[in-house]
Amino acid sequence: MTMTDLRNIGVIGAGTMGNGIAQTCALAGFPVVLQDLSDAALDRARKTMEGSLARLVKKATLTEAQAADTLARITMTTTLDLMADRDIVIEAIVEKLEVKAAILGKLDAICRADAVLASNTSSISLTQLAAASAHPGRVIGMHFFNPVPVMQLVEIIRALQTTDAVAEAVTALTHAIGKTPRVSKDSYGFIVNRLLAPQINEAINCVYEGLATPEDIDSMMKLGANHPMGPLALGDLIGLDVVLNIMETLYDGFDDPKYRPSPLLKQMVSAGYLGRKAGKGFAEYP
Ligand code: CAA
Ligand code: NAD
């Protein structure tokens, strides 16, 4: 295998992002191993992928047979063993440096030394993550956007240690799965979330200050700024725990009060009102 031939793909974490990444890669013809901690998490992921593929079948973008073939290309597992033969493993687990660093350490022991280790982190320094691997040159950020089957961009973030060969191979893979890569240097939140997360946080501060209802704030941004959905609905789509983790990374990383997480954002997360995935956030999702 040359670095430009990343074919066998592993995805760790089958939540909001992981199942979308697995589906997108499998739809493009790549064999995928999708790992999560429990069968229940994998069952939820399978149902989400079935629903997403069914949308494509309904609008005749895909045949029933192609949807079935896509799912058949995804092997689901609760252990990391099947990552041993993967050319690239994309990690999409919780947005915490220590948890991601621990997975990279485990993958070092399981994966081939030339396998690429990519992280779908939203904000964490890739340079810090790469430092947790015994082979830091193979670590890179491959940042997909939610909902993965729909959103075009993949931000590719080079750690200080990432080799040119790894960056080129991941850029080629991004094209091969039908997405558009844009490369940035490593910095907290990279480009998109450095701009987007503070906007969501500020919208939550507007609710906290009682300036307007969540519905009105969202409709103002849709009608006044032509955003496809308002910032509070977007926070609910992303997951308010993820938004809080991003804000904390920006706040701590840049050591700048302008990124202070909204007190209401912290309360929502403490209450378990995490957005769509919890059935309740700034709106209810029955
Ligand atoms: N799977 C497959 N297709 C899907 C889908 C899914 N999960 N969700 C939506 N679609 C498709 C629909 O079938 C539809 O396709 P057609 O136009 O071809 O018919 C299209 O997407 C639009 O969907 P809907 O008509 O149902 O709804 P919509 O027009 O309101 O669009 C949306 C929904 C795409 C989510 C749109 O509101 C949007 O773009 N919102 C902003 C999303 C965004 O900003 N995402 C980035 C979040 S930040 C992030 O991800 C980074 C991070 O680290 C936190
Ligand atoms: P999520 O909570 O929806 O899913 C995370 C999944 O990882 C869960 O199914 C959980 O069981 C699993 N998991 C946790 N620890 C694990 C471990 N040690 N091994 C295997 N699986 C494990 O989270 P998400 O929203 O999919 O976010 C995942 C990553 O993607 C985070 O780094 C997040 O910042 C990033 N991200 C999220 C979004 C978004 O809009 N939600 C967008 C881009 C990037």
- The conformation of residue 229, written as its DSSP 8-state character, comes to S
Of the pLDDT bands very low, low, confident and very high (cuts 50, 70, 90), residue 57 is very high
**Helical segments of 14-163, H only:** 16-27, 39-58, 64-72, 97-110, 126-130
CA distance 161 to 130: 7
Q: Is 205 marked active-site?
A: no
The structure tokens 């429990």 sit at: 38
Catalytic residue (one of 19, 119, 122, 133): 122
Q: What is the pLDDT of residue 1?
A: 46
This complex has an ipTM of 0.96
Q: Is 120 marked active-site?
A: no
Q: Is 143 marked active-site?
A: yes
Q: Mean of the per-residue pLDDT values for the chain? A: 97
In the reported structure, the alpha carbon of residue 146 is separated from the centroid of ligand 2 by a whole-number distance in angstroms of: 12
Name the percent of the chain lying above pLDDT 70.
99
CA distance 229 to 254: 28
CA distance 114 to 96: 25
The verdict on the CB of residue 8 being under 6 Å from ligand 2 is no
CB 124 within 8 A of CB 273: no
Q: Which two tokens stand for residue 130?
A: 């790469």
Which residues sit with their C-beta closer than 6 Å to ligand 1? 52, 55, 59, 122, 145-147, 149-151, 193, 196, 228-229, 234, 238, 242
Burial class (CB in 10 A: 0-12, 13-18, 19+), 223: exposed
**What are the Cα distances from residue 85, in Å, to 10, 89, 207, 223?**
9, 10, 49, 49
Give residue-wise pLDDT tens across range 20-47. Answer: 999 999 999 999 999 999 999 999 999 9
Q: What is the pTM of this model?
A: 0.96
Give residue-wise pLDDT tens across range 171-187. Answer: 999 999 999 999 999 99
CA distance 216 to 222: 10
Number of Cα atoms under 13 Å in the Cβ half of residue 170: 31
The ligand 2 atom at the shortest distance from the C-alpha of residue 239 is: 41
Query: Cβ contacts of residue 191 below 8 Å, gap of 6+?
Result: 155, 182, 184
